[in-house]
Amino acid sequence: MTHRSVEVPVIARVEGEGALHITARDGEILDLRLEIYEPPRFFEAFLQGRSYAEVPDIVPRICGICPVAYQMSAIHGLERLFGVEVSPGTRELRRLLYCGEWIESHILHIFLLAAPDFLGYPNAIAMAKDHPELVRTALDIKRIGNDIMELIGGREIHPVSPRVGGFSRAARRRDLEPLLPRLEWALSEMPAIADVVASLPRPLLPREVEMVSMVNPDEYPINEGDLASTAGRRFDAATFEAVSREEHVAHSNALHSLMADTGTPYFVGPLARVNLNAERLTPVAKEVARRAGLSVPETDPFFSMAARAAEATLAIEESIRLIQAYVPPEPPMAEVVPRAGRATWVTEAPRGILYHRYDVGEDGTILEAKIVPPTSQNLRHMEEDLRNFVPGVLDRPDEELRRLCEMVVRNYDPCISCATHFLTLDIERR
């Protein structure tokens, strides 16, 4: 019998802290656990008793990488409960703000977090020594995403202007117009970036999965839409907790999501969105998906990087369109009168669907909050991926096996800070 043991104390280049434990005997997985030791921060608990108006300032603190996603799920849900109608300008400015976050987050992940894996570097700085132009281009594109967030939100991390009802101040056309030539440049660079993504040596992990994302007949979904799955489900945010249930496992400070009826895991994020919304990708985004080797249906999670490249392109094209057509909302804030009830909403965070639910008192006080981030929805699916992937590579040397396992996890761009509200690898091969 072959007993082997491998350890990775911290899985690097993911947001937050976690560890992976695998025990294998004769090529068979005996035990596999993604351990989330990122400390719990109890957001849902201390939201209780605070005013609805403070929620857009509290929830972005769950995640520095996707603060806008947290603000948008909360704000839309509370506005629906309160019956607030926002102007078209507010709606468009929110989509633009979110596009900034998609560009920033996707490019950060492709080039600073994931690409070094595929090319065998410990980090992007080492990668930059051999590929200076590529890293420079990526950082410049990422900067555009950051600048969109800063111009609209005041700052890219934890923006200050998004409020329930609109924006405390709406960006002016002249603030946004200087972005246009930079966005046009970024768009012209994306096909070449798709070729780089296509050229990266990619492990294979073909398997049957159920993917879930928002769908919207009118546009690629970000802020608005129903939920759908590749297994034919269709539901909306109000029934989310009936469709998806959470399970608390001993090794994780993040809850695991499962389909309530089948008890099976599901997969959210860029690849799910592309699969369910491919026809609504913008023209250059379709070209980028094709050049990156992605055609739907595609369920291999190693195509997530190609999906991110396509979506970053979509976000660039959408930003150009939104800025060209932008009419500032006047006034920037709609009147908000709180009422008692249950607010629910889902938006598409860069990493997948982000569900918020708030039970609100008649004066607008938050009585109870529930937040289900994309990473915790994906955790069980990540474990399943590893169960499928690891037996095929158990013969590899320790260092390589560890790197491959990290790559499987990193396909999900896991944001562990979010999921606990992630990774050390410890492989025991007996």
Partner 1 sequence: MSESGKPRVAVFKMASCDGCQLQLLDAEEALLDIAGAIDIVNFAEASSDLQPGPYDVTLVEGSMSTPEQLEQIAQIRRDTRFLITIGACATSGGVQALRNLEDLGTFVEAVYPRPEFVESLATSTPIADHVKVDLEITGCPIDRGQLLGALSSLLSGVVPRLSTAPVCIECKRRGFVCVMVVKGEPCLGPSVRTGCGAICPGFGRGCYGCFGPSQPPNTDALGKRFIELGLTPKQTSDTFRFITGWAPAFREAAEAFGDGDGRKEEEVRTP
Segment 220 to 249, residues that bind partner 1, using CB under 8 A: 246-249
Of 53-61, 194-202, 282-290, 352-360, which segment contacts partner 1 by CB under 8 A?
A: 53-61
Nearer to partner 1, 291 or 410 (CB): 410
Q: Within 10 A of 324 (CB to CB), how many other CB atoms are there? A: 11
421 binds partner 1 (CB under 8 A): yes
Residue for token digits 């690097």? 12
Residue 421: partners with Cβ closer than 8 Å, 6 or more residues away? 40, 41, 42, 43, 44, 62, 254, 371, 373
Nearer to partner 1, 54 or 395 (CB): 54
Contacts of partner 1 in 79-138 (CB under 8 A): 108, 112, 116, 122-126, 128, 135-136
CB 402 within 8 A of CB 386: no
CA 249, CA 88: separation in Å to the nearest integer? Answer: 44
7 binds partner 1 (CB under 8 A): no
48 binds partner 1 (CB under 8 A): yes
Contacts of partner 1 in 60-79 (CB under 8 A): 60-65, 67
C-alpha count within 13 angstroms, C-beta hemisphere, residue 367: 11
182 binds partner 1 (CB under 8 A): no
Residue for token digits 């929620």? 55
CB 380 within 8 A of CB 1: no
CA 214, CA 348: separation in Å to the nearest integer? Answer: 7
Task: Give least dist CB 12 to partner 1, A.
Answer: 4
User: Going residue by residue from 8 to 47, which x/- string records binding to partner 1, judged by CB under 8 A?
Assistant: -xx-xxxxxx-------------------xxxxxxxxxx-
CB burial class (10 A; 0-12, 13-18, 19+) of residue 139? middle
User: Going residue by residue from 364 to 393, which x/- string records binding to partner 1, judged by CB under 8 A?
Assistant: ----x-------------------------
Contacts of partner 1 in 307-346 (CB under 8 A): 332
Residue 56: partners with Cβ closer than 8 Å, 6 or more residues away? 71, 74, 75, 162, 163, 164
Instruction: Please count the residues of this chain forming the interface with partner 1, following the rule CB under 8 A.
Output: 73
Task: Give least dist CB 77 to partner 1, A.
Answer: 19
Task: Give least dist CB 371 to partner 1, A.
Answer: 9
